[in-house]
Structure 1
């Protein structure tokens, strides 16, 4: 029986700066029914406070920072388990840097232990050169998430996966990716909610991250067609979601 909800954000709640139909009703129903839930996002650019404020600007109120877990948070937690102190070269935004600082890591271009890569709107050839050099000299290659594109109003834009691909092509090395579809991300979320994965439903718009990650963690999965995945794409995958909806406003969790 589903008692808790873990939901993606990009392509599920909003596209860029535009709220998706039914999203506010979806959140308000979760709050009214006191359903345990988390927004789990591969977005590593923003902090939970940033995301809360963003949703408020779109008209969704009543959330707290505890309602969010990001791939930046998961990456910092994972690396802290691997090494107590570390120097990190970062390609990514303030959200990722903040989380790495929070676990006691230093941001450095002097013999870093890790090269950590997320989506970056300011990614440059100079950063690419530095990342390649550090990895060639032994730094561990870490990606926050593998998403190749992100849905925005009017279409899609390149995401973390495109930067990871460039670095991987130049170094011949593949990154270890912490965020979705790694089931580690799902397990951290269910642990934060205090429930078993089989009690959760994972709601997302991506078959290759949200749905496969939820499935491998033992969760029910609900695909929404408001983001990246279309109905025509479903047959391209060797697995399927438990449920398919046009948008989150159609979901009645009591019937799952």
Structure 2
């Protein structure tokens, strides 16, 4: 089946941590050669699109425009702008999340923010968890950037943003509003960015819980590649089968 455009995950699909997945690089280069539109849709909030672009070029010799990278950070900002509860925010996260939120006009507030946004933070402290918990208890709107429990790296499966968010959900007894894959908002924004209808694209990724469910839940065909989070032995027990399952992206036939 042929598709007019491709929505593609990064972590576990194009690379694992600092390790390139060669078939992922070849997949992107084939899309470029065929002039097929693609958009990297990533739950990674630690880096800006420009930083991701530079990393792809410098570390993996994958050369793309920053406009082809849509992160959960951008979707979070879009969501807060639409929600319009105020401009005060407290964030657990790294530069790719905090800097972009502040650049979008939000103001840092630790005591009584309108929003508490929680994403991946490799330097997270107990005090940050305390501040987020107390602010949510006072009524701040609780946003989780993405539900990823783990991140595939060269060291193995590391704790992801979802693990940090779960801690605060436990502490506050409140569920976060999730923005990233597999939620609808990031997929709707991604389709708007790539300029195609959902029936014309396919979601490509390694994580059934985020990448593949983002397609299944939103009426988009899916391609599960077994180079990252979801393992081959798990495929037969998946509740809803992906449209396609491949060991690596070299097996994909462009038609």
The TM-score bracket by the shorter chain reads: over 0.9
Structure 1 residue 201 corresponds to structure 2 residue 202: yes
Deviations 1:180-211 (A, max 9, x none): 01022111111101110110000011111111
Matches of 2:40 and 2:62, distance apart in 1: 14
Counterpart position of 1:20:
21
Pick closer, same or farther for the CA change 1:175–1:84 going to 2, 3 Å: closer
DSSP-derived class of the 1:31 partner: helix
Counterpart position of 1:251:
252
Counterpart position of 1:83:
84
Q: Which moved more, 1:60-69 or 1:5-14?
A: 60-69
> How far has the Cα of 1:49 moved from its partner?
0.8
Counterpart position of 2:167:
166
Counterpart position of 1:116:
117
DSSP-derived class of the 2:51 partner: helix
Matches of 1:59 and 1:116, distance apart in 2: 31
TM-score (norm: length of structure 1)? 0.96
Structure 1, unpaired ranges of 5+: none
> How far has the Cα of 1:35 moved from its partner?
0.4
Matches of 1:236 and 1:178, distance apart in 2: 27
> How far has the Cα of 1:84 moved from its partner?
6.6
Matches of 1:207 and 1:232, distance apart in 2: 13
Deviations 1:153-184 (A, max 9, x none): 03111010111111011110010000001022
Pick closer, same or farther for the CA change 1:209–1:142 going to 2, 3 Å: same
Counterpart position of 1:183:
184
Matches of 1:84 and 1:138, distance apart in 2: 11
How much is the aligned-residue C-alpha RMSD, in angstroms? 1.2
TM-score (norm: length of structure 2)? 0.96
Q: Is the 8 A contact 1:85 1:104 kept in 2?
A: no
Matches of 2:12 and 2:112, distance apart in 1: 38
DSSP-derived class of the 1:181 partner: coil
Structure 1 residue 231 corresponds to structure 2 residue 232: yes
Matches of 1:124 and 1:84, distance apart in 2: 27
